Structure 1
Protein backbone atom coordinates (compact mmCIF):
# COMPACT_ATOMS: atom_id res chain seq x y z
CA UNK A 1 0.00 0.00 0.00
CA UNK A 2 2.77 2.45 0.92
CA UNK A 3 4.60 1.60 -2.31
CA UNK A 4 1.60 2.45 -4.49
CA UNK A 5 1.17 5.73 -2.57
CA UNK A 6 4.80 6.62 -3.31
CA UNK A 7 4.29 5.92 -7.00
CA UNK A 8 1.15 8.03 -7.19
CA UNK A 9 2.91 10.95 -5.46
CA UNK A 10 5.82 10.64 -7.89
CA UNK A 11 3.36 10.72 -10.79
CA UNK A 12 1.74 13.88 -9.44
CA UNK A 13 4.96 15.74 -8.63
CA UNK A 14 6.63 15.61 -12.03
CA UNK A 15 8.39 18.97 -11.97
CA UNK A 16 8.68 19.79 -8.28
CA UNK A 17 10.12 23.33 -8.53
CA UNK A 18 7.46 24.43 -11.02
CA UNK A 19 4.59 22.84 -9.13
CA UNK A 20 5.88 24.09 -5.78
CA UNK A 21 6.21 27.68 -6.98
CA UNK A 22 2.84 27.67 -8.74
CA UNK A 23 1.12 26.25 -5.65
CA UNK A 24 2.89 28.75 -3.38
CA UNK A 25 1.85 31.69 -5.56
CA UNK A 26 -1.79 30.59 -5.60
CA UNK A 27 -1.85 29.93 -1.86
CA UNK A 28 -0.16 33.27 -1.12
CA UNK A 29 -2.67 35.19 -3.24
CA UNK A 30 -5.57 33.34 -1.61
CA UNK A 31 -4.19 33.92 1.89
CA UNK A 32 -3.68 37.64 1.27
CA UNK A 33 -7.17 37.87 -0.24
CA UNK A 34 -8.67 36.07 2.76
CA UNK A 35 -6.87 38.37 5.19
CA UNK A 36 -7.99 41.47 3.29
CA UNK A 37 -11.61 40.30 3.22
CA UNK A 38 -11.47 39.47 6.95
CA UNK A 39 -9.96 42.88 7.75
CA UNK A 40 -12.57 44.60 5.59
CA UNK A 41 -15.42 42.74 7.34
CA UNK A 42 -13.97 43.53 10.75
CA UNK A 43 -13.47 47.22 9.93
CA UNK A 44 -16.92 47.60 8.40
CA UNK A 45 -18.67 45.94 11.34
CA UNK A 46 -16.56 47.81 13.89
CA UNK A 47 -17.36 51.16 12.24
CA UNK A 48 -21.06 50.25 12.09
CA UNK A 49 -21.14 49.35 15.78
CA UNK A 50 -19.23 52.48 16.78
CA UNK A 51 -21.50 54.79 14.80
CA UNK A 52 -24.76 53.06 15.79
CA UNK A 53 -27.00 54.76 18.31
CA UNK A 54 -27.33 53.14 21.73
CA UNK A 55 -31.02 52.49 21.20
CA UNK A 56 -32.17 51.38 17.75
CA UNK A 57 -35.57 51.03 16.25
CA UNK A 58 -36.23 48.19 13.86
CA UNK A 59 -36.17 50.63 10.94
CA UNK A 60 -32.80 52.10 12.01
CA UNK A 61 -31.40 48.59 12.48
CA UNK A 62 -32.58 47.52 8.99
CA UNK A 63 -31.09 50.67 7.42
CA UNK A 64 -27.78 50.08 9.21
CA UNK A 65 -27.78 46.42 8.18
CA UNK A 66 -28.56 47.35 4.57
CA UNK A 67 -25.63 49.79 4.53
CA UNK A 68 -23.33 47.15 5.98
CA UNK A 69 -24.41 44.56 3.39
CA UNK A 70 -23.88 47.04 0.55
CA UNK A 71 -20.44 48.04 1.85
CA UNK A 72 -19.35 44.44 2.45
CA UNK A 73 -20.53 43.32 -0.96
CA UNK A 74 -18.73 46.01 -2.94
CA UNK A 75 -15.53 45.90 -0.92
CA UNK A 76 -15.43 42.09 -1.25
CA UNK A 77 -16.00 42.35 -5.01
CA UNK A 78 -13.15 44.87 -5.30
CA UNK A 79 -10.74 42.76 -3.24
CA UNK A 80 -11.60 39.53 -5.07
CA UNK A 81 -11.35 41.26 -8.47
CA UNK A 82 -7.92 42.59 -7.52
CA UNK A 83 -6.91 39.08 -6.43
CA UNK A 84 -8.05 37.64 -9.77
CA UNK A 85 -6.04 40.28 -11.65
CA UNK A 86 -2.94 39.66 -9.51
CA UNK A 87 -3.32 35.89 -9.96
CA UNK A 88 -3.59 36.34 -13.72
CA UNK A 89 -0.52 38.57 -13.83
CA UNK A 90 1.54 36.21 -11.67
CA UNK A 91 0.32 33.28 -13.78
CA UNK A 92 1.52 34.99 -16.94
CA UNK A 93 4.93 35.66 -15.39
CA UNK A 94 5.23 32.07 -14.19
CA UNK A 95 4.05 30.58 -17.46
CA UNK A 96 6.53 32.77 -19.37
CA UNK A 97 9.28 30.90 -17.54
CA UNK A 98 7.68 27.63 -18.70
CA UNK A 99 6.57 28.54 -22.23
CA UNK A 100 9.88 30.20 -23.16
CA UNK A 101 11.97 27.05 -22.75
CA UNK A 102 9.29 24.86 -24.37
CA UNK A 103 9.23 27.18 -27.39
CA UNK A 104 13.04 27.09 -27.62
CA UNK A 105 13.05 23.27 -27.34
CA UNK A 106 10.57 23.10 -30.20
CA UNK A 107 12.63 25.41 -32.40
CA UNK A 108 15.79 23.48 -31.62
CA UNK A 109 14.13 20.15 -32.46
CA UNK A 110 12.78 21.62 -35.71
CA UNK A 111 16.29 22.72 -36.68
CA UNK A 112 17.59 19.22 -35.93
CA UNK A 113 14.77 17.72 -38.05
CA UNK A 114 15.82 20.06 -40.87
CA UNK A 115 19.31 18.52 -40.73
CA UNK A 116 21.02 21.36 -38.91
CA UNK A 117 23.02 20.93 -35.73
CA UNK A 118 22.25 24.03 -33.65
CA UNK A 119 24.44 25.54 -30.96
CA UNK A 120 23.89 24.49 -27.37
CA UNK A 121 20.96 26.02 -25.55
CA UNK A 122 21.22 28.34 -22.56
CA UNK A 123 18.16 29.24 -20.52
CA UNK A 124 17.50 32.33 -18.45
CA UNK A 125 18.44 32.02 -14.79
CA UNK A 126 14.84 31.73 -13.54
CA UNK A 127 13.52 29.50 -16.35
CA UNK A 128 12.25 26.02 -15.63
CA UNK A 129 13.30 22.80 -17.43
CA UNK A 130 17.04 23.33 -16.97
CA UNK A 131 17.49 19.53 -16.71
CA UNK A 132 15.85 19.12 -20.11
CA UNK A 133 18.14 21.80 -21.55
CA UNK A 134 21.15 19.86 -20.22
CA UNK A 135 19.80 16.73 -21.94
CA UNK A 136 19.23 18.65 -25.20
CA UNK A 137 22.77 20.00 -25.03
CA UNK A 138 24.03 16.42 -24.58
CA UNK A 139 22.11 15.45 -27.72
CA UNK A 140 23.66 18.37 -29.62
CA UNK A 141 27.17 17.38 -28.49
CA UNK A 142 26.47 13.80 -29.61
CA UNK A 143 25.20 14.98 -33.00
CA UNK A 144 28.29 17.18 -33.47
CA UNK A 145 30.59 14.25 -32.61
CA UNK A 146 28.69 11.98 -35.00
CA UNK A 147 28.86 14.61 -37.73
CA UNK A 148 32.61 15.05 -37.21
CA UNK A 149 33.08 11.26 -37.44
CA UNK A 150 31.02 11.12 -40.65
CA UNK A 151 33.06 14.00 -42.08
CA UNK A 152 36.26 12.12 -41.28
CA UNK A 153 34.92 8.92 -42.88
CA UNK A 154 33.89 10.86 -45.98
CA UNK A 155 37.37 12.40 -46.23
CA UNK A 156 38.91 8.92 -45.99
CA UNK A 157 36.58 7.71 -48.75
CA UNK A 158 37.65 10.61 -50.97
CA UNK A 159 41.29 9.60 -50.50
CA UNK A 160 40.50 5.91 -51.01
CA UNK A 161 38.18 6.46 -53.97
CA UNK A 162 40.65 8.55 -55.94
CA UNK A 163 42.82 5.48 -56.66
CA UNK A 164 39.92 3.19 -57.58
CA UNK A 165 38.15 2.63 -60.84
CA UNK A 166 35.03 0.94 -62.11
CA UNK A 167 32.65 -0.79 -59.75
CA UNK A 168 34.72 -0.08 -56.62
CA UNK A 169 34.72 3.66 -57.38
CA UNK A 170 30.94 3.56 -57.87
CA UNK A 171 30.48 1.86 -54.50
CA UNK A 172 32.67 4.44 -52.80
CA UNK A 173 30.62 7.21 -54.45
CA UNK A 174 27.43 5.50 -53.28
CA UNK A 175 28.72 5.34 -49.69
CA UNK A 176 29.81 8.99 -49.89
CA UNK A 177 26.31 9.91 -51.09
CA UNK A 178 24.79 8.04 -48.14
CA UNK A 179 27.11 9.86 -45.75
CA UNK A 180 26.19 13.21 -47.32
CA UNK A 181 22.53 12.26 -46.83
CA UNK A 182 23.19 11.60 -43.15
CA UNK A 183 24.97 14.94 -42.91
CA UNK A 184 22.34 16.90 -44.86
CA UNK A 185 22.19 20.51 -43.81
CA UNK A 186 25.64 20.35 -42.20
CA UNK A 187 27.69 20.70 -45.35
CA UNK A 188 29.25 23.93 -46.53
Structure 2
Protein backbone atom coordinates (compact mmCIF):
# COMPACT_ATOMS: atom_id res chain seq x y z
CA UNK A 1 0.00 0.00 0.00
CA UNK A 2 1.01 3.58 -0.58
CA UNK A 3 2.02 5.47 2.54
CA UNK A 4 1.91 9.22 3.18
CA UNK A 5 5.29 10.69 4.07
CA UNK A 6 5.41 13.39 6.71
CA UNK A 7 6.96 16.60 5.46
CA UNK A 8 10.07 17.73 7.28
CA UNK A 9 12.24 20.57 6.12
CA UNK A 10 15.41 20.84 8.13
CA UNK A 11 16.87 23.67 6.10
CA UNK A 12 15.32 26.38 8.32
CA UNK A 13 16.72 24.64 11.39
CA UNK A 14 20.21 24.59 9.95
CA UNK A 15 20.02 28.16 8.71
CA UNK A 16 18.42 29.40 11.91
CA UNK A 17 21.00 27.54 13.97
CA UNK A 18 23.82 29.19 12.07
CA UNK A 19 22.33 32.64 12.61
CA UNK A 20 21.75 31.89 16.28
CA UNK A 21 25.36 30.80 16.66
CA UNK A 22 26.48 34.04 15.06
CA UNK A 23 24.19 36.02 17.37
CA UNK A 24 25.46 34.22 20.47
CA UNK A 25 29.04 34.83 19.41
CA UNK A 26 28.29 38.53 18.98
CA UNK A 27 29.35 40.57 21.96
CA UNK A 28 28.91 44.32 22.16
CA UNK A 29 32.57 45.03 22.78
CA UNK A 30 32.49 48.12 20.57
CA UNK A 31 30.42 51.23 21.00
CA UNK A 32 29.50 51.48 17.31
CA UNK A 33 27.18 48.51 16.96
CA UNK A 34 25.12 50.17 14.20
CA UNK A 35 27.80 52.49 12.87
CA UNK A 36 25.87 54.53 10.30
CA UNK A 37 22.79 54.93 12.48
CA UNK A 38 24.74 55.92 15.58
CA UNK A 39 26.98 58.37 13.75
CA UNK A 40 23.96 59.98 12.11
CA UNK A 41 22.27 60.30 15.51
CA UNK A 42 25.43 61.76 17.06
CA UNK A 43 25.80 64.21 14.17
CA UNK A 44 22.22 65.45 14.60
CA UNK A 45 22.61 65.95 18.36
CA UNK A 46 26.07 67.46 17.96
CA UNK A 47 24.86 69.90 15.30
CA UNK A 48 21.82 70.96 17.32
CA UNK A 49 23.78 71.57 20.53
CA UNK A 50 26.70 73.17 18.68
CA UNK A 51 24.43 75.54 16.77
CA UNK A 52 22.63 76.51 19.99
CA UNK A 53 25.95 77.08 21.78
CA UNK A 54 27.22 79.30 18.96
CA UNK A 55 24.04 81.40 18.93
CA UNK A 56 24.03 81.83 22.72
CA UNK A 57 27.79 82.50 22.79
CA UNK A 58 27.53 85.12 20.05
CA UNK A 59 24.73 86.86 21.91
CA UNK A 60 26.71 86.90 25.17
CA UNK A 61 29.83 88.11 23.33
CA UNK A 62 27.94 90.96 21.68
CA UNK A 63 26.37 92.13 24.94
CA UNK A 64 29.67 91.92 26.84
CA UNK A 65 31.45 94.00 24.20
CA UNK A 66 28.77 96.66 24.41
CA UNK A 67 28.93 96.67 28.20
CA UNK A 68 32.76 96.90 28.37
CA UNK A 69 32.94 99.58 25.68
CA UNK A 70 30.53 101.70 27.68
CA UNK A 71 31.96 100.94 31.12
CA UNK A 72 35.74 100.41 30.66
CA UNK A 73 37.12 100.22 27.09
CA UNK A 74 40.60 99.45 28.44
CA UNK A 75 39.55 95.95 29.50
CA UNK A 76 38.82 94.72 25.98
CA UNK A 77 42.02 92.63 26.07
CA UNK A 78 40.70 90.79 29.14
CA UNK A 79 37.51 90.04 27.26
CA UNK A 80 39.55 88.57 24.39
CA UNK A 81 41.30 86.19 26.81
CA UNK A 82 37.99 85.17 28.34
CA UNK A 83 36.53 84.47 24.91
CA UNK A 84 39.59 82.42 23.93
CA UNK A 85 39.31 80.29 27.06
CA UNK A 86 35.57 79.97 26.58
CA UNK A 87 36.08 78.74 23.02
CA UNK A 88 38.51 76.06 24.20
CA UNK A 89 36.07 74.95 26.88
CA UNK A 90 33.26 74.87 24.32
CA UNK A 91 35.28 72.61 22.01
CA UNK A 92 36.10 70.28 24.91
CA UNK A 93 32.45 70.26 25.96
CA UNK A 94 31.28 69.42 22.44
CA UNK A 95 33.83 66.60 22.22
CA UNK A 96 32.67 65.11 25.52
CA UNK A 97 29.06 65.51 24.45
CA UNK A 98 29.80 63.64 21.21
CA UNK A 99 31.31 60.70 23.12
CA UNK A 100 28.40 60.64 25.57
CA UNK A 101 25.97 60.67 22.64
CA UNK A 102 27.67 57.61 21.13
CA UNK A 103 27.49 55.74 24.43
CA UNK A 104 23.83 56.68 24.87
CA UNK A 105 22.99 55.58 21.32
CA UNK A 106 24.66 52.25 22.12
CA UNK A 107 21.76 51.43 24.47
CA UNK A 108 19.24 51.30 21.62
CA UNK A 109 21.57 50.47 18.72
CA UNK A 110 22.38 47.13 20.38
CA UNK A 111 18.71 46.11 20.69
CA UNK A 112 18.08 47.14 17.07
CA UNK A 113 20.92 44.84 16.01
CA UNK A 114 19.39 41.97 17.98
CA UNK A 115 15.96 42.61 16.46
CA UNK A 116 17.49 42.44 12.98
CA UNK A 117 19.25 39.16 13.76
CA UNK A 118 16.09 37.71 15.32
CA UNK A 119 14.05 38.69 12.26
CA UNK A 120 16.58 36.85 10.07
CA UNK A 121 16.31 33.74 12.26
CA UNK A 122 12.50 33.76 12.21
CA UNK A 123 12.47 34.34 8.45
CA UNK A 124 14.23 30.97 8.03
CA UNK A 125 11.25 29.27 9.69
CA UNK A 126 12.58 28.91 13.24
CA UNK A 127 9.54 29.90 15.30
CA UNK A 128 11.11 28.59 18.50
CA UNK A 129 13.42 31.60 18.54
CA UNK A 130 12.79 34.45 20.96
CA UNK A 131 14.35 37.91 21.15
CA UNK A 132 16.52 38.28 24.24
CA UNK A 133 17.86 41.72 25.14
CA UNK A 134 20.38 42.48 27.84
CA UNK A 135 19.24 43.75 31.22
CA UNK A 136 19.05 47.52 31.09
CA UNK A 137 18.64 47.73 27.32
CA UNK A 138 16.02 50.02 25.84
CA UNK A 139 13.09 48.79 23.70
CA UNK A 140 12.12 46.06 26.18
CA UNK A 141 8.44 46.63 25.32
CA UNK A 142 9.19 45.96 21.66
CA UNK A 143 10.97 42.76 22.68
CA UNK A 144 7.84 41.56 24.49
CA UNK A 145 5.59 42.44 21.55
CA UNK A 146 7.86 40.70 19.03
CA UNK A 147 8.12 37.58 21.18
CA UNK A 148 4.33 37.54 21.56
CA UNK A 149 3.98 37.77 17.77
CA UNK A 150 6.42 34.89 17.20
CA UNK A 151 4.65 32.78 19.84
CA UNK A 152 1.30 33.42 18.15
CA UNK A 153 2.70 32.35 14.78
CA UNK A 154 4.19 29.26 16.40
CA UNK A 155 0.81 28.26 17.86
CA UNK A 156 -0.94 28.71 14.51
CA UNK A 157 1.68 26.67 12.66
CA UNK A 158 1.55 23.94 15.31
CA UNK A 159 -2.23 23.84 14.93
CA UNK A 160 -1.91 23.48 11.15
CA UNK A 161 0.73 20.75 11.51
CA UNK A 162 -1.52 18.84 13.89
CA UNK A 163 -4.35 19.08 11.36
CA UNK A 164 -2.09 17.93 8.52
CA UNK A 165 -0.86 14.95 10.57
CA UNK A 166 -4.42 13.98 11.42
CA UNK A 167 -5.54 14.25 7.79
CA UNK A 168 -2.53 12.26 6.63
CA UNK A 169 -3.37 9.54 9.14
CA UNK A 170 -6.96 9.40 7.94
CA UNK A 171 -5.81 9.22 4.33
CA UNK A 172 -3.45 6.35 5.19
CA UNK A 173 -6.30 4.49 6.85
CA UNK A 174 -8.60 5.06 3.88
CA UNK A 175 -5.98 3.70 1.48
CA UNK A 176 -5.30 0.65 3.66
CA UNK A 177 -9.02 -0.20 3.75
CA UNK A 178 -9.21 -0.54 -0.03
CA UNK A 179 -8.98 -4.23 -0.92
CA UNK A 180 -7.01 -5.37 -3.93
CA UNK A 181 -10.24 -6.40 -5.64
CA UNK A 182 -12.05 -3.16 -4.74
CA UNK A 183 -15.69 -2.95 -5.78
CA UNK A 184 -17.64 0.06 -6.88
CA UNK A 185 -18.93 0.58 -3.33
CA UNK A 186 -15.38 0.63 -1.96
CA UNK A 187 -14.34 3.22 -4.50
CA UNK A 188 -17.42 5.31 -3.76
CA UNK A 189 -16.66 5.22 -0.04
CA UNK A 190 -13.08 6.28 -0.77
CA UNK A 191 -14.35 9.12 -2.93
CA UNK A 192 -16.57 10.32 -0.09
CA UNK A 193 -13.68 10.20 2.39
CA UNK A 194 -11.43 12.11 0.01
CA UNK A 195 -14.05 14.83 -0.42
CA UNK A 196 -14.28 15.20 3.36
CA UNK A 197 -10.50 15.39 3.61
CA UNK A 198 -10.43 18.02 0.89
CA UNK A 199 -12.83 20.20 2.87
CA UNK A 200 -10.67 19.93 5.99
CA UNK A 201 -7.48 20.68 4.08
CA UNK A 202 -8.97 24.05 3.17
CA UNK A 203 -8.61 25.01 6.84
CA UNK A 204 -4.81 24.68 6.71
CA UNK A 205 -3.13 28.13 6.94
CA UNK A 206 -6.55 29.78 6.82
CA UNK A 207 -5.51 31.89 9.81
CA UNK A 208 -2.93 33.67 7.61
CA UNK A 209 -3.64 36.49 5.20
CA UNK A 210 -1.45 36.24 2.11
* Structure 1 length-normalised TM: 0.51
2:106 is aligned to: 96
1:47 is aligned to: none
**TM-superposed deviation, 1:114:** 4.0
**TM-superposed deviation, 1:118:** 5.0
Of residues 157, 161, 166, the one that matches 2:167 is 157
* Structure 1 unmatched ranges of 5 or more: 1-25, 38-57, 183-188
CA distance in structure 2 between the partners assigned to 1:103 and 1:150 by the alignment: 32
1:138 is aligned to: 148
- Which aligned pairs between 1:118-137 and structure 2 lie closer than 5 A? 118-137=128-147
Q: CA RMSD in A?
A: 3.7
**TM-superposed deviation, 1:69:** 3.1
Conservation of the 8 A alpha-carbon contact between 1:97 and 1:128: yes
CA distance in structure 2 between the partners assigned to 1:108 and 1:132 by the alignment: 13
CA distance in structure 1 between the partners assigned to 2:116 and 2:89 by the alignment: 40
- Say if 2:68 is the partner of 1:79: no
**TM-superposed deviation, 1:158:** 1.8
Conservation of the 8 A alpha-carbon contact between 2:118 and 2:130: no
Deviations 1:126-179 (A, max 9, x none): 21111111111111221222222222112112211113357629x66xx49x66
CA distance in structure 1 between the partners assigned to 2:128 and 2:99 by the alignment: 34
CA distance in structure 1 between the partners assigned to 2:128 and 2:98 by the alignment: 35
Does 1 or 2 have the higher relative contact order (CA < 8 Å, sep 6+)? 2
Which one has the bigger helix percentage?
Answer: 1
Conservation of the 8 A alpha-carbon contact between 2:114 and 2:133: no
CA distance in structure 2 between the partners assigned to 1:105 and 1:127 by the alignment: 12
Of residues 158, 168, 175, the one that matches 1:148 is 158
* Structure 2 unmatched ranges of 5 or more: 1-45, 58-71, 176-189
* Structure 2 length-normalised TM: 0.46
